[in-house]
């Protein structure tokens, strides 16, 4: 079996990190499989959303420590290139026009937590944890961890999480808004697929525009974000999705947006 298993449930592409013996530690094979899956999701009209999970009841243990050990012998530029392999995956999740949902069972550690927090929504089993314990082996965070943590945690909490490396309960993350749904253990994937199915009923171009707006909102001033909203809204108001959505509303029927996926 490959490093990545993909399957389709309804209109949702389910991508499984399939290396349970290593608690789904990140690998170049996983990066390649995930990027291919995201590219397919973007292009395939049958796919409305993507769910990421890990095989064997654990989301992802992050970097493989034996691989990390080999980095010391590389040049700085070679290390930069290797780390950018992860960052290209993070950017691919960000740039995928379909919503990407992380389904966390067990735990998400190190760059596995970065990967989960890069997603547009997060579902987690209520006994799962995140941990960003890079510091304990003399490393610093990657995969956008510092950026993603700062979206829901003030600097004092970001420092605590990263300087001590203690486990973070997903219920704390839920209270802070970074985890969208808590489920019973073993039910995170089902809930994520159901969420994906709800998204599949939504207008795809509007979802892609919302995803982009949510990414730029935090770090740019109100004026710039207002301008981005105007462009997105003026485009939407002239488009087929709005015509269908407004007509359906006025005709008191459910809209059918599925035909707009392309």
Residue 218 in contact with a copy of itself, rule: CB under 8 A: yes
Q: Which of residues 60-89 bind a copy of itself (CB under 8 A)?
A: 65-66, 68-69, 71-72, 74, 76, 79-80, 83-84, 87
Return the residue of 3, 25, 130, 199 that touches a copy of itself, per CB under 8 A: 199
Q: CB of 57: closest distance to a copy of itself in angstroms?
A: 22
Nearer to a copy of itself, 184 or 219 (CB): 219
Residue 59 in contact with a copy of itself, rule: CB under 8 A: no
Residue 6 in contact with a copy of itself, rule: CB under 8 A: no
* CA–CA distance, 6 with 52 (Å, rounded to integer): 10
Q: CB of 2: closest distance to a copy of itself in angstroms?
A: 27
Return the residue of 3, 60, 115, 206 that touches a copy of itself, per CB under 8 A: 206
Q: Which of residues 120-159 bind a copy of itself (CB under 8 A)?
A: 120-122, 134-159
Quick one: tokens of 110?
């190190």
């Amino acid at each position: 079996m490959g490093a990545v298993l993909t399957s389709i449930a309804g209109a949702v592409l389910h991508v499984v990190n399939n290396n349970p013996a290593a608690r789904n530690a990140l690998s170049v094979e996983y990066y390649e499989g995930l990027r291919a899956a995201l590219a397919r999701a973007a292009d395939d009209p049958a796919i409305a959303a993507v769910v990421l999970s890990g095989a064997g009841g654990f989301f992802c243990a992050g970097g493989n420590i034996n691989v990390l050990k080999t980095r010391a012998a590389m040049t700085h530029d070679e290390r930069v290139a290797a780390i950018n392999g992860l960052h290209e995956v993070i950017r691919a999740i960000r740039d995928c026009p379909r919503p990407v949902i992380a389904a966390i069972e067990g735990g998400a550690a190190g760059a596995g937590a970065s990967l989960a927090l890069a997603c547009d929504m997060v579902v987690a089993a209520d006994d799962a944890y995140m941990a960003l314990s890079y510091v304990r082996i003399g490393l610093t965070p990657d995969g956008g961890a510092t950026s993603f943590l700062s979206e829901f945690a003030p600097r004092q909490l970001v420092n605590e999480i990263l300087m001590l490396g203690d486990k973070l309960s997903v219920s704390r993350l839920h209270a802070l808004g970074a985890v969208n749904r808590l489920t019973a253990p073993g039910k995170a994937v089902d809930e994520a697929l159901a969420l994906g199915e709800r998204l599949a009923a939504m207008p795809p171009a509007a979802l892609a525009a919302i995803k982009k707006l949510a990414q730029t909102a935090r770090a740019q001033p109100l004026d710039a974000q207002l301008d981005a909203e105007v462009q997105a809204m003026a485009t939407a108001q002239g488009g087929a999705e709005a015509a269908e959505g407004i007509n359906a509303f006025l005709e008191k029927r459910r809209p059918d947006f599925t035909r707009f996926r392309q």
